[in-house]
Structure 1
C-alpha cells in the first residue's frame, strides 16, 4: 500500500516503533488518528484499566477508559496497536482507540457465563510450550492447537526441557507422538540448558510477534529469558511429583527480542476452553474431516452408519480411536459455547438430540419385539 508523501515523511518520527512491528500497513491504518494529533503505540502490558504503551515518546502509562466495551473480546490487550494522547494532553493520558487486529488469540473463561477472553493480539506465531518433565497430554496439545489455528497465527509446538530425555531414540518417539496430533505444525524439542533447538526457535521468533502459551511449569519463563538473553521473567522451581509450578508470570508482557521480533509471555493457563473455534478444531483434526468427506452420508455421525470412512479407518488401524474421541469432545464443547449466543445452533442441537432419542427408542422397541 502506498502512503501519501506527507504522511510518509511525518511517520519517520515513528521509526522507534519498527522494532515492535510497526510497518506501512499499520501506518496507513493509523493515518486518521495521526490527523487528530494522536500518537501510535503498541500495548506492552495491561493491568486494571491501565496499560503501558510504547510510543515515539517512549513508554507511557495510559488509561483505557475510552476503550472498554461490553464485549470482553474487544477490550484492549497486550499486542494491540493503539492511538494515545500526546504529551501535554492531560493527566492521566488516555488510549482513545486501537487499530483493527490482524489476529486475535482468545479462549473461553472458566466462569459460568462462558464469556470469551482475549489473551493476545496481532500475533504471527503461537508457541505452544509443553514440558517433557511430565507425561505428554495430547488432548491438551490439541486444544491449544485449535485455539492457535482459530486465532490466525501459525502454531509451533516446543517440547521444553528436552535435556531430561537424554536418549535420542526416546526423544524422537515423543516428537512423533506430538506430530500425530499436530498436522501441518512443526514440533521442536528445545533445551534452555544445553541450547538444543534454540537456533531454530530464534529464527522463528525473529519474524514478527510470537506468543508463549502453556500451563504453569511448562518452562515458558525460562524459555523467554533464554530468548531475551537476560533474566527478565521470574522463574520458580516446579514440584518434582507432578512437574507443576506456580504462576511465575501474572500478566501478559510484550518484549523486544535482541535478534529481532517481539515476544509476548503469558501466565500459565489452567483452563484451555475453546471459544468459537470450529475452524481451528477442523484444522487440528484435518485427517478426520478429510475422511468424513468420503462417508456415504453427508451427516454421518461416525458411529454405526454404513459406508462410514471414519470408522473404517479406525477398524483398519489408520486412525487412532483416541483421535476421534478427542475430536468429538472438542466439537461438542465448541457447539455448546456457540449455542449460548446462536439460536440457530441451539435449534440444530435440539434437533439432533430428538433424532438420537427417536433412534434409541426405536432400537429398544425392536429389541423388546425380539424378546417376545
Structure 2
C-alpha cells in the first residue's frame, strides 16, 4: 500500500487529480495548519507548504485548505506551494464563534465524528443534540463517546438518554484510562484508511483518549480548573494523525460553541424522530409549533416524543433560520456590489480612463 493510500487516497480523489496530471503537481493531504504553514503528507513524506496567493484571492475562506483536505502541491525540495484543493467528499462546519454570522470549516473528508462527553460534569443532552444535528447535516456519521463512565453509579442510564434523542448512531460507554475498554470499542469503530475527528468540550478526556489510541503521549492531558470544574485546553490546533491500526483521527481543540448552520440547503427538519412523524401532520407546511393536527405536538403531549428533544429542536431551528436569513442577505449584498463593480468598470472602459 502506498503512503497516500494509507492516508485515505481513493478513486474519488484520483479522478479529480488526473485532470491536473500535466501540471507536474503532486497530491498531498493536509495534516495540520500552523499559521501560514501547512504540514502535508505526500507520496514521499512530510513537507511544509504555503498556500499560493492566487488560491487565496480566488476563494472564500471556507474553501481554503483545511485539515483533512487533499491538495495539489508544487514541491521545491523540502517545501511546497499549495496550488489547488481537490473537491471534498464532505466538510465539518459550524457557525463561527461570537456574533459574526459566518461559517467556519473545521475539517474535511471525514468518515465519522466522535462526540465526546464526560459523565462527571460535562454531560448535557441539549448540547449533544446540537452536535448531532450539525454533524448529520454535514453528511458525517456521528458516534457518541460517553467517557469517565467509571465515575458514575449507573452509566447505562446516560446511554439510554442519548439513545432516546432518536439519532441513528452508536453510543459507547468507556473510561479513557482503561486500555481494555479502549480495545473493545475501537476494534469496532476505528477502521483502517478511514478518517475520524474527536469533538467535545475541554476536559472531557479527548487528549487522554487519543494518547491511549496512539500508545504514546501526543497531547499533554489537561487538568481541571478548581474554580469551575471545567477542563483546560490542551489541544490548541487541529491535526490529523495515523493510528497504529491504520485509521486516522483529527484531534480538535475543545469548543465552547458549536452553532448550527443548516448544511445542505435543508429547512431544518433533519431530526430522525421529527422526520418520521412530520408526514402525519394535517398540513404539509406545518411548523410543528401551533398548528392544529400537528403530529409532533401530539407526540410530545402523549409522551412518545421526549420534550427535551422537541425543545432543543425548536431552538436549533430558530438558530438555523436566523443564520440562513443573514447568509442570504449577505449574498444579496455581494451580488449588488459585484453588479455595481461591473457597471463602474464598463463605464471607465467606455470613457477610457
Q: TM-score, normalised by structure 2?
A: 0.86
In the other structure, the counterpart of 1:310 is: 296
Change (3 A) 1:199 1:269: same
In the other structure, the counterpart of 2:133 is: 146
In the other structure, the counterpart of 1:295 is: 281
Cα deviation for residue 151 of structure 1 reads: 1.7
Cα deviation for residue 279 of structure 1 reads: 4.7
Gaps in structure 2 of 5+ consecutive residues? 333-353
In the other structure, the counterpart of 1:365 is: none
2:167 to 165, 171, 183: 183
Change (3 A) 1:217 1:281: farther
1:329 to 315, 340, 351: 315
Deviations 1:285-324 (A, max 9, x none): 2212322221112233334432221221122111222221
- Matched-pair contact (CA < 8 Å) for 1:104–1:121: yes
**Greater displacement, 61-70 / 274-283:** 274-283
**Distance of 1:192 and 1:111 partners within structure 2:** 32
- Matched-pair contact (CA < 8 Å) for 1:126–1:210: yes
- How many residue pairs align between the two structures? 327
Gaps in structure 1 of 5+ consecutive residues? 1-11, 347-372
**Distance of 2:43 and 2:121 partners within structure 1:** 44
Structure with larger Rg? 1
1:203 equivalent in alignment to 2:188? yes
**Distance of 2:266 and 2:229 partners within structure 1:** 32
**Secondary structure at the residue paired with 1:140?**
helix
- Matched-pair contact (CA < 8 Å) for 1:148–1:280: no
Cα deviation for residue 228 of structure 1 reads: 1.0
**Greater displacement, 103-112 / 258-267:** 103-112
In the other structure, the counterpart of 2:87 is: 100
Cα deviation for residue 113 of structure 1 reads: 2.7
Cα deviation for residue 241 of structure 1 reads: 6.0
In the other structure, the counterpart of 1:214 is: 200
1:133 equivalent in alignment to 2:117? no
**Distance of 1:271 and 1:155 partners within structure 2:** 18
- Matched-pair contact (CA < 8 Å) for 1:159–1:187: yes
Cα deviation for residue 130 of structure 1 reads: 0.7
For 1:1-372, list aligned pairs within 5 A. Answer: 15-66=2-53, 67-68=55-56, 69-88=58-77, 93-165=80-152, 167=153, 170-194=154-178, 195-207=180-192, 208-239=194-225, 242-277=228-263, 279=266, 282-283=269-270, 285-342=271-328
**Greater displacement, 203-212 / 261-270:** 203-212
**Distance of 1:37 and 1:219 partners within structure 2:** 44
Change (3 A) 1:251 1:173: same
